[in-house]
């Protein structure tokens, strides 16, 4: 049974749904606006006021004993003008948008989406103002016939915040960044992903030993405080005397590891798409998925407009060698020219997306006053 979690602030201009990613959302809010954060993961939020419970009784009578009755009651009490979340897959945002059509409801994309099936066939649902990585998400919404108030491609907010503080990025030509997407084996799809991750990593080590012997940095999925950190460390079985460094997932460490490399190797990670959008050389290995899995159709869709020379389609060592060697030998000028359309499609390169969202909020406040 979930425990009750008290919402401390009674009145705010902005209501942030979910404390996960709230540090990112705060940067999108104009400085003059107040905000409250509602923790929706660790329990059932409530406000210690009689008016809240009065509104809750009305909302339960209206919607039933559902989570949206609780969130709607919190909105009734706090009376925010804007409701915003960094968890764009949260169905509650679309539901709240319909309950409060005069409020500005915003969802900010936090990760690459292979599908939007969770939103499909939902009654009384309208995706709110959706700030996405690129134009790909619009095609995805169209495929799943999902209605939305607006869809604005601005790029990665988190990456923009990193770039705002890190204007000078080194580029180590003798370094390769390998992005880990390690997860414990849970289902057939994730089992296949872990096996492919292991094979691609092994291919990279073999190629590196036979060729230029560059240093390799592994951008870890976990940090030392995570439950599966040791499992992930053991997963990679670091060869003795090899120049391989494990980069713990802390703050913006993965961005630094990726940007300070000449080439990035990934399966289909969000980080890989973010770095690709910035013009880094990236070898995507997502198309190596087992074609018998139902998820293979979703993977095929996301890589539909990706140039062939940055997408590995086979786990054969020879194919890997050919792809990565071609990328390394290609000049930066040629690479940027040949990937221009794809980079804009997958990751719009607005340098500071949080500023674009802030301006959007300001325009709403001005029009509402």
Q: 121: pLDDT confidence band, cut at 50, 70 and 90?
A: low
CB of 177 closer than 8 Å to CB of 150: no
Q: Which residue has the tokens 């406000």?
A: 47
Using the predicted structure, report yes or no on whether residue 13 has a pLDDT greater than 70. yes
- pLDDT tens for 328-348 read 999 999 999 999 999 999 999
- The DSSP H or E segment spanning 219 is strand 215-219
Tokens standing for residue 83: 């409701």
Residues of the chain with pLDDT > 90: what percent? 69
Using the predicted structure, report yes or no on whether residue 180 has a pLDDT greater than 60. yes
pLDDT value of residue 203: 95
CA atoms within 13 A on the CB side of 33: 24
- pLDDT tens for 213-226 read 889 999 999 988 88
What are the start and end residues of each CATH 3.40.50.2000 domain in the chain?
165-346
Kindly state the average pLDDT of the residues 123-148.
87
Kindly state the average pLDDT of the residues 64-80.
96
Greater model confidence, 292 or 60: 60
Kindly state the average pLDDT of the residues 286-298.
81
pLDDT value of residue 184: 80
In whole angstroms, what is the distance from residue 259 CA to residue 261 CA? 5
Q: What are the C-alpha distances in Å from 226 to residues 162, 221, 230?
A: 23, 9, 9
pLDDT value of residue 189: 63
pLDDT value of residue 146: 87
- The set of residues, in sequence order, having a beta carbon less than 8 Å from that of 349 and lying 6+ positions away, is 155, 277, 278, 343
- pLDDT tens for 164-176 read 988 777 777 789 9
pLDDT value of residue 193: 82
Kindly state the average pLDDT of the residues 304-327.
95
Using the predicted structure, report yes or no on whether residue 77 has a pLDDT greater than 70. yes
CB of 197 closer than 8 Å to CB of 267: yes
Per-position DSSP letters for 54-88, written without gaps between them: HHHHHHHHHH-SSHHHHHHHHHHHH--SEEEES-T
Kindly state the average pLDDT of the residues 260-280.
95
- The 282-284 sheet, strands edge to edge: 244-247, 215-219, 175-179, 263-266, 282-284
Q: Helix, strand, coil: what percent of the chain each, to 5?
A: 45, 15, 40
Question: Does the domain formed by 165-346 have CATH 3.40.50.2000?
Answer: yes
Residues of the chain with pLDDT > 70: what percent? 94
Per-position DSSP letters for 112-179, written without gaps between them: --S--GGGTT-TT--EEEEEESSSHHHHHHHHTT--EEEEEE---HHHHHHHHH-------TTEEEEE
Q: Which residue has the tokens 């039933």?
A: 64
- The rounded Cα 45 to chain-centroid distance in angstroms is 25
CB of 201 closer than 8 Å to CB of 236: yes
In whole angstroms, what is the distance from residue 130 CA to residue 297 CA? 24
Range of lowest pLDDT (27-36, 55-64, 347-356): 347-356
Burial of 241 by CB count in 10 Å (0-12 exposed, 13-18 middle, 19+ buried)?
Answer: exposed
Q: 211: pLDDT confidence band, cut at 50, 70 and 90?
A: confident
Topology classification of domain 4-155+351-368: Rossmann fold (3.40.50)
């Amino acid at each position: 049974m979930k425990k009750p979690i008290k919402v401390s602030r009674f009145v705010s201009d902005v209501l942030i749904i979910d404390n996960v990613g709230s540090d990112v959302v705060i940067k999108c809010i104009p400085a003059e606006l107040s905000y409250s954060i509602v923790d929706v993961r660790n329990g059932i939020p409530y406000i210690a006021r009689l008016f809240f419970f009065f509104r809750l009784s009305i909302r339960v009578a209206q919607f039933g004993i559902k989570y949206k009755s609780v969130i709607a009651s919190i909105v009734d009490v706090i009376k925010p003008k804007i409701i915003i979340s960094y968890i764009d897959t949260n169905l509650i945002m679309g539901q709240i948008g319909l309950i409060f059509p005069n409020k500005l409801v915003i969802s900010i994309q936090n990760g690459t989406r292979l599908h939007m099936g969770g939103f499909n066939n939902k009654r009384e649902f309208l995706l709110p103002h959706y700030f996405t990585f690129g134009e790909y998400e619009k095609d995805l919404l169209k495929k799943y016939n999902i209605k939305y108030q607006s869809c604005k491609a601005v790029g990665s907010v988190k990456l923009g915040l990193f770039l705002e503080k890190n204007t000078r990025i080194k580029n180590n030509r003798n370094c390769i960044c390998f992005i880990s997407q390690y997860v414990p084996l849970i289902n057939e799809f994730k089992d296949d992903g872990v096996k492919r991750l292991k094979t691609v990593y092994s291919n990279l080590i073999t190629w590196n030993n036979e060729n230029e012997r560059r240093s390799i940095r592994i951008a870890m999925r976990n940090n030392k405080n995570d439950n599966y950190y040791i499992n992930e460390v053991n997963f990679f079985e670091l060869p003795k005397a090899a120049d391989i460094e494990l980069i713990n997932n802390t703050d913006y460490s993965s961005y630094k590891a990726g940007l300070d490399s000449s080439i990035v190797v990934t399966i289909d990670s969000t980080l890989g798409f973010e770095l690709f959008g910035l013009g880094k050389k990236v070898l995507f290995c997502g198309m190596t998925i087992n074609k018998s899995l139902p998820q293979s159709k979703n993977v095929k869709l996301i890589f539909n407009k990706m140039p062939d020379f940055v997408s590995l389609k086979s786990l054969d060592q020879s194919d890997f060698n050919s792809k990565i060697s071609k990328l390394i030998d290609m000049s930066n000028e040629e690479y940027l020219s040949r990937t221009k359309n794809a980079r804009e499609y997958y990751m719009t390169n607005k340098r500071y997306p949080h500023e674009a969202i802030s301006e959007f909020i300001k325009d709403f406040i001005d029009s509402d006053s």
